[in-house]
Structure 1
């Protein structure tokens, strides 16, 4: 009898686990320049869990993209930005914890990458809440070779041949690989990144006109995400 009860107790948990594998968390990021949709990688579970927690708590709603650099990236998530005055320096705000680094060589800084900002802590642990989305640029072989030298100097991850081809076609920021945790990507709305990145900015790279964000997330069947956005999940 005890064995039967144990099986019955475990069965719902098993079904929940199986159901979760069939779904993924889709982030909808809305700005005045349009909407982006993002997915979060399973290979970086600490960052995924943390980001979901923040999105579900409406933490990011009303915050600014406080640092934008064309052909590089757009950065946001500083809680001090919500009520920031014009010209106020931003970028040092956060919660009272860091997220341990999760460097995965297969995850790299191609255009549209979602990655965690950080300070200069020796563990390269991530900010609790600040993030950036890569715009980057397209690299030719000569300039990519210079990037490889820069990566070696920073003790980062050198791009594989496949990743190098992405940098030479789609674009990105290769010198960040292996030094900042990549934990997701934009799967719809890359043009929004381009629009935000080119906004006029001050000498601290803060947009002269505030660029606010709102985020919401929900669990959706992976098949639906693939059908709607064309994102292909890797087979396990």
Structure 2
């Protein structure tokens, strides 16, 4: 097959553009290290909410406020009722078949409301190596840790009180970074 010069230029542009296209990733900086999160396109409301709150610096004064070995590291709770009652802070569930609570899954916290509405301010990372599949279908999973589970493992084993709050606050700084395929490959060491 012979390509015209214009078609050849279009194909080259497309290949080059595809190589540099970026997608948003969450980056959580903690005193224990960095956690990189792939945000799922399949859960657009939760993905976009996470991006919006991160870009607004919402979590930058908060902590991982609940850490339980072989369960989760949970963060982002402002310790106010608004997070669970104010409609501005609630999201309809986006429970997607095939996206489950595996090791490193990032989910949206919620209270026991019957509509399974997510508290957009609160997220958790599954630390159980076998996953937490009893949560599947009840909580929205909107991301996956791609690097930094060693950091999550450290966080859940911090000394904590009898309500699972770390004795030494584990601060958060959450950012959104744009990565292209080669940057992702480099990050993952592939």
TM-score range, shorter chain: 0.7 to 0.9
| 1:4-42 C-alpha deviation (Å, 9 max, x unpaired) | xxxxxxxxxxx9xx87x9321022111111111111000
Cα distance in 2 for partners of 1:109, 1:230 equals 25
After the TM superposition, which residues 123-134 of structure 1 pair with which residues of structure 2 at under 5 Å, given as runs? 123-134=115-126
1:66 equivalent in structure 2: 65
Whether the 8 Å contact between 1:78 and 1:93 is mirrored in structure 2 is: no
Cα distance in 1 for partners of 2:143, 2:53 equals 15
TM superposition score normalised by structure 1: 0.67
Determine which structure has the larger strand proportion and give its number: 2
After the TM superposition, which residues 216-235 of structure 1 pair with which residues of structure 2 at under 5 Å, given as runs? 216-229=175-188
1:193 equivalent in structure 2: 152
For structure 2, which runs of at least 5 residues remain unmatched after alignment?
1-13
Q: Give 1:121 shift.
A: 1.1
Partner SS state of residue 42, structure 2: coil
Relative to structure 1, is the Cα distance of residues 24 and 74 closer, same or farther in structure 2, using a 3 angstrom cutoff?
A: same
Q: Give 1:93 shift.
A: 5.5
Partner SS state of residue 74, structure 1: strand
Relative to structure 1, is the Cα distance of residues 133 and 93 closer, same or farther in structure 2, using a 3 angstrom cutoff?
A: farther
1:166 equivalent in structure 2: none
Cα distance in 1 for partners of 2:157, 2:187 equals 28
2:93 equivalent in structure 1: 101
Cα distance in 2 for partners of 1:199, 1:220 equals 31
Q: Give 1:99 shift.
A: 0.8
Runs of 4+ in 1 over 3 A off after TM superposition: none
Partner SS state of residue 83, structure 2: coil
| 1:78-103 C-alpha deviation (Å, 9 max, x unpaired) | 124xxxxxxxxxx7552733111001
TM superposition score normalised by structure 2: 0.83
1:49 equivalent in structure 2: 48
| 1:145-171 C-alpha deviation (Å, 9 max, x unpaired) | xxxxxxxxxxxxxxxxxxxxxxxxxx2
1:32 equivalent in structure 2: 31
Cα distance in 1 for partners of 2:181, 2:43 equals 18
Cα distance in 2 for partners of 1:67, 1:30 equals 17
1:111 equivalent in structure 2: 103
